[in-house]
Amino acid sequence: MRVEQFLRESAARSARKTALIAGKQRLTFADVDRMSDRLAAALLSRGIARGDRVVVFMENSWEAVVAIFAILKAGAVFSPVNPSVKAEKLAFILDNCRAAGIVTQARLAGTAASAMMEAASVRLVVLAGGDEAPPARGCLRFEDAITSTRLMPPPAPAGIDLDLAMLVYTSGSTGFPKGVMMTHQNVVAAAGSITTYLENREDDVILGVLPISFDYGLYQVLMAMKVGATLVIEKSFAFPQAILNRMTEEKVTGLPLVPTMAAMLLQMGDLTPDRFPHLRYITNTAAALPPAHIARLQELFPSARLYSMYGLTECKRCTYLPPEEMPRRPASVGIAIPGTEAYVVDEAGNRVGPGVVGELVIRGPHVMKGYWENPEATD
C-alpha cells in the first residue's frame, strides 16, 4: 500500500464526511481528494517526476495537507520543513535533497526566494495565498491549480511501497540536518501500528495543533486520513483558550500533547472535568510528564485515556505506555508498538534483562531506509 491511498480510500468510503477543519474552512474527503488530484496533475505538467523531492514549506493549514497528498499522487517525495527556519537552513535542505520544487505561502515567499538563490535544482514554486508574484523561476499559483479543470486527474503512480514517500530532516543539533528517508512501507506500517493501539476510528475528531513539519504533527494528518477521521487544524498552541473553545465546539476526541502544552493547560483556571466529555484519548511525547501533571490531567479529563509515548524521527514511534500502566510507572517508555520489537543490548550486542543499562534496539517495518546520501551516518 502507498500513502496516497489513505486519502483515496477514505474519499471512496466517506466522500461527504468532513476531513479537515481549518478556521472557517471545512473540507470533505472528496474535496481534499479532488484538490490534491488537480494539484498533482499540475505538478506533473510542470515537470515534477517520479522520485523528485518537493519541499513543503508551510504553516499548519489545509493547503499543506492538500500539497502533501498531491506530491504523493504525482509519485514524488515530500519533505516538510518548519516554516520558522531561516533562509540559510532552508537553502541547505533544498540543496541537500536537490529539491525539484517547493510549495510555500505568500507570507514565507521572501524566505523561500532567498533560499532558492543557493539551490539551483528548484525549477517549480507553488505559492498559496496572497496576490504577490511568486519568487523567480517557474511558478504556479496554488489556488489556480486546485480549481483548474483543464488537466486530467493523474494516473496512479507506477511505484511500489518500497519507494520513498517522505524525507524528514532532523533538527541538526549535532551538526547539519540529516534527511531521514521514509518509504511508503515505513509510513503505512507506523501509521497502522499507532492507530491500532490508539484505537482510532472514523468518528474520531483529532486536534492538529502540533507542527506538520515534525513527525508527531505530521502523523496526525496521516492517521486521520488513514482511518477517515476529522482533523481540526490549528497553527499553534499560542492561544490555548481559543484552542480549548475549538475543542468544545468540534467535540474533539483525540488530543496530542507535548509537556509544555500540558503545563500551559494546567495553568488555566477555568478547566472543569465536565467540559470535554467527548475527549477519548490524550497522547504525550518528547519527554515524560511529571507525575503531578499526569494526576491533574486525569482529574480534568476523566473520559480520556492518557498515553505516554517515545519515538525518534528515524522510526516515528518506538514504544508506548498503555494507559492502565501510567499510575504504576509514569516514567517508563512502555512497550514496543504493535508489529515491532524493542529490546536492550550490552556493548557486545547481547540482549540483557531488566535493570541492566544498555542500548535500545528497535526493529520493524517502520524503521527508516537510511539517511539521505549519508551512508556513514546510516551505518
Q: Which of 165-169, 203-207, 326-330 has the lowest mean pLDDT?
A: 326-330
Taking the C-alpha atoms of residue 171 and residue 33, their distance in angstroms, rounded to an integer, is: 31
Q: For 336, phi and psi rounded to 5 degrees?
A: -60, 145
Write b or e for each residue in 309-345: b if 16 or more Cβ atoms lie within 10 A of its Cβ, otherwise e: bbbebbbbbbbbbeeeebeeebeebbebbeebebeee
Taking the C-alpha atoms of residue 96 and residue 117, their distance in angstroms, rounded to an integer, is: 14
Confidence of residue 133 (pLDDT cuts 50, 70, 90): low
What's the mean pLDDT in 91-112? 97
Taking the C-alpha atoms of residue 233 and residue 212, their distance in angstroms, rounded to an integer, is: 10
pLDDT at 362: 96
What's the mean pLDDT in 202-220? 97
Structure confidence by residue, pLDDT tens digits, 247-297 = 999 999 999 999 999 999 999 888 899 999 999 999 999 888 998 999 999
What's the mean pLDDT in 222-234? 99
Please return the burial class of 204, using the count of CB atoms within 10 Å of its CB with bins 0-12, 13-18 and 19+: buried
Reduce the DSSP state of residue 360 to 3 states and report it.
strand
Taking the C-alpha atoms of residue 24 and residue 126, their distance in angstroms, rounded to an integer, is: 23
Confidence of residue 226 (pLDDT cuts 50, 70, 90): very high
Plot region of 268 (φ>0 → left; ψ -120 to 50 → alpha; else → beta): beta
CATH architecture, range 4-184? 3-Layer(aba) Sandwich (3.40)
Whole-model pTM?
A: 0.95
DSSP per residue, 158-207:
S--TTSEEEEEE---TTSS--EEEEEHHHHHHHHHHHHHHHT--TT-EEE
Q: Which of 50-64, 126-140, 338-352 has the lowest mean pLDDT?
A: 126-140
Chain-centre distance of CA 253, in angstroms?
A: 18
- In this structure, the number of other CB atoms found within 10 A of the CB of residue 75 comes to 23
- The residue ranges of every structural domain in the chain are 4-184
- Does the structure show a pLDDT above 60 at 135? no
**CA-based Rg of the chain, rounded to a whole angstrom?**
21
Confidence of residue 158 (pLDDT cuts 50, 70, 90): confident
Q: Give residue for cell 514554486.
A: 125
pLDDT at 151: 84
Structure confidence by residue, pLDDT tens digits, 19-60 = 999 999 999 999 999 999 999 999 999 999 999 999 999 999
